[in-house]
Amino acid sequence: MVILSEKRTERDVYEAISDQTRRRLLRLLADAEELPLYELTVHFEMGRTAVSKHLTILKDAGLVVSRKIGRETRYRLNATPLKEIHDWVSFYEDFWKERMFKLNLLLEEQKMKADVSLDFQYTSSIEEVWKALTDSEMLAKWIWENDFKPVVGHKFQFRAEPNKWWNGIVDCEVLEVEEPHKISYTWASQGENTTVTWTLKEGSDGTTHLHFEQAGFSEETKATKGAIEGAIYSWTKMGEQLGKVLDQ
């Protein structure tokens, strides 16, 4: 009785399945309990002797066992040694799953990264600025006419004067309300679906710091010359108008 070392057995299993013909033999045997040599040979463009040599290599690796029935030798699969390869592949499968998970997180972070980011500061209290951001009548004074309500899930519209390039409609839905520190809603217009977020912070001197973000522009829009710059310009003007409304 010959006992192969663990290292030799590992090498034999890997070498045994490295050949396409031997892998196909294993697949044929996996689909049947037992097959004689002649039934295996018909699947290959080679003679019985060549197929028999491949089966011998698989037998040496413990992947195939055979038995004699009269003058006929029948072969069957022994899949146990393949577990070693499965375990080896599984290690790298977990390795790549972890890295793909981290990559997806990074891509999501990049996706949610604000395309437009602006900061404003007002002498008004945080409560006053919050009201200007969430009261429909006040919103109309520095953005556009609207039917806004600070309620998560509420769908509303901003309605501006239409022109030949734009119907003047922005469809929105409230996503987040944290009075008086944060308000977020979708901003869908002309095929673009973005998210607008206002974050308020009260300064030690009684002023209010207002941070604005708009995220989610399509790659096509971001690649369009002047598109993001145009959004920055528009929101900057609105922020200035908000300051005038607060000063009234």
Distance CA 179, CA 183 (A): 8
pLDDT tens track for 29-88? 998 889 999 999 999 999 999 999 999 999 999 999 999 888 889 999 998 988 888 888
**61: which DSSP letter?**
T
Question: Is pLDDT above 70 for 2?
Answer: no
In the chain the domains, ranked by start, together with CATH numbers, are: 6-83 (1.10.10.10), 114-247 (3.30.530.20)
| pLDDT 10s digits, 123-160 | 999 999 999 999 999 999 999 999 999 999 999 999 99
Q: 18: phi > 0 → left, psi -120 to 50 → alpha, else beta; which?
A: alpha
Average pLDDT value for the chain: 89
Closest CA to 82 of 21, 14, 31: 14
117 or 90: which carries more pLDDT confidence? 117
Could you give the angle at the alpha carbon of 223 between the alpha carbons of 217 and 228, nearest 5°?
Answer: 55
Whether the bond between 180 and the residue before it is cis, its omega within 30 degrees of 0, is yes
163 phi, psi to nearest 5 deg: -140, -175
State the pTM of this model. Answer: 0.57
Give percent of the chain above pLDDT 90: 67
At 149 the pLDDT is: 97
